[in-house]
Amino acid sequence: MKRIVLFIGNSFTSVIFATYTILFGAQVGWNDIKLNSEQLWNSTVKEYLQKELWNGNEAYIAGNSLMVPMHIAFQEHKKEWITDFHFHFSNLSKNGLDSLSINEERLNTLQYYYLISRFLYLSLTNQVSFTYEEKLTNHLIKEMKKIWINSPAWMWDMENFTGVKDRVLWKLKSIAVKKSYYRAITDEELFIFSISADLKSILSLQGKRDPIIDDIVSVGYTTYVNESTFTSTGKWIFQPGVYKDHPDYKYAGTDFIFNEELSFHVNNIGKDTSHSHRFPLWIISLKNCFPNKSKQSLFLQKILTGLESQFYEEVLVLPKDSNYLIPLTKNYMDGTNGIYRYNYPSLNHGDGYYPFELSGTFTLGWWSFLGTNRIRQVYRDLSLEFPLHHRELDVILKEPTDKKRVNLKSIASGELAFKNGYRQLICYLASKNISNNGTQIE
């Protein structure tokens, strides 16, 4: 197999460059033409933002796949790109906001709410006016207060708590628990911390405060302080071992299952890398709501630095160190690469996420929020590998068998996002991301 790349011009952003593949018995990809970033934006992100993305599973997909493009639109001062987001959130404000509630499809909604809070934060810190800023801000504040204080908060094998606050405080003070994962700080809680941090920043920039939003942020910061572990070299892992007993982690210590009755738990197992891809931006949101050089800001920067080292040196596997043409990620944040979610309901019986099979999440670009040159370079190199070969796609693209759990029509997820240039665009934009240097309050 021979691959010839012809570059017409000297820049991804200004030219079209074509990839020609000479095949010997195998098809290596779908796209014969690599489009420039403006063309890719118009055919993917711009088109996607015309849709009503705030309901159901699409809200989750949108929150994942629009975050990096949105940050780069503001970072690069791309007026047309920012206008595309204005159109979408104006449409939401006029036609969809009343139907959104934290009590419905909670995790999907929180993922989308985080996209909103980041949009509002970026608009304000970049002095870009938005007609519905106050309406969206007030909606998010109302929703965060409701989920923090009043809405039932589920808990494994226990009665619901009255509000997420009570559940988080219970986890922080409960050391001896029947199952290790009872203490796990979930994505739901981490989203609430970071959305509220964005709101705290927005209110502060407007000369305002809200005591409940302040309380959420305070508990969030305390959670990171209490649940962080740093290695002797400064690398960071969040709650190591907390998921040791969880069924999804039952086979974390093996890459082959010969007897399903046997368990392969890992005592200090890290969180899976797929869900962990949000940590860089979650921490940035929290860091930026505290005054620059405050003890809180410095501690959260220490976490970011430690997370970057842990991810790059223990989790990320570069092509030069593997038999693949693209970077891969191990399945767990401690560097373990065993099986995740074996026999999970959305997969075939007897299947799970085998070594490296969570690597597709890397192409969503969120690890670029770590803000280092070496991470940006990995994304730059990856963007030039599209269209991906089938061998690489077979590793990073595991489609759920339960079709109710995946929107097959979404241009931003699954196989289609790798065929239409969306993930290629995200990887290229991620190579430009300097968002670790985000604006902080004074």
How far CA 7 is from CA of 2, 102, 240, 246, 397, in Å, comes to: 16, 48, 46, 49, 28
3-state class percentages of the chain: helix first, strand second, coil last, to nearest 5:
50, 5, 40
Q: How far apart are CA 58 and CA 110, in angstroms?
A: 12
Asked if residue 390 has pLDDT above 60, the reply is yes
Supply the mean pLDDT for the chain.
Answer: 90
Provide the percentage of residues in the chain whose pLDDT is more than 90: 84
pLDDT of 408 reads 54
pLDDT of 35 reads 55
Query: pLDDT-derived band of residue 17, with 50, 70 and 90 as boundaries?
Result: very low
pLDDT of 36 reads 85
Asked if residue 14 has pLDDT above 60, the reply is no
Quickly name the fold that domain 2-437 has.
Answer: Glycosyltransferase (1.50.10)
Q: Which region among 8-22, 139-153, 280-294, 317-331 has the lowest average model confidence (pLDDT)? A: 8-22
The pLDDT tens digits for 356-369 are 999 999 999 999 99
178 phi/psi in degrees, rounded to 5: -65, -45
H-assigned helices in 76-163: 79-95, 106-125, 133-145
Distance spanning both ends of the chain, measured CA to CA: 56
pLDDT of 434 reads 85
Cβ(164)–Cβ(147) below 8 Å: yes
pTM: 0.91
CB atoms within 10 A of CB 119: 27
Q: Which region among 13-22, 44-53, 217-226, 306-315 has the lowest average model confidence (pLDDT)? A: 13-22
Q: What is the DSSP string of 363-429?
A: GG-GGGGG--HHHHHHHHHHHTTPSPPHHHHHHH----S-GGGS-TT-TTSHHHHHHSSHHHHHHHH
Over residues 407-421, mean pLDDT: 86
The pLDDT tens digits for 209-249 are 999 999 999 999 999 999 999 999 999 999 999 999 999 99
pLDDT of 40 reads 94
Domain boundaries, the chain: 2-437
pLDDT of 399 reads 66
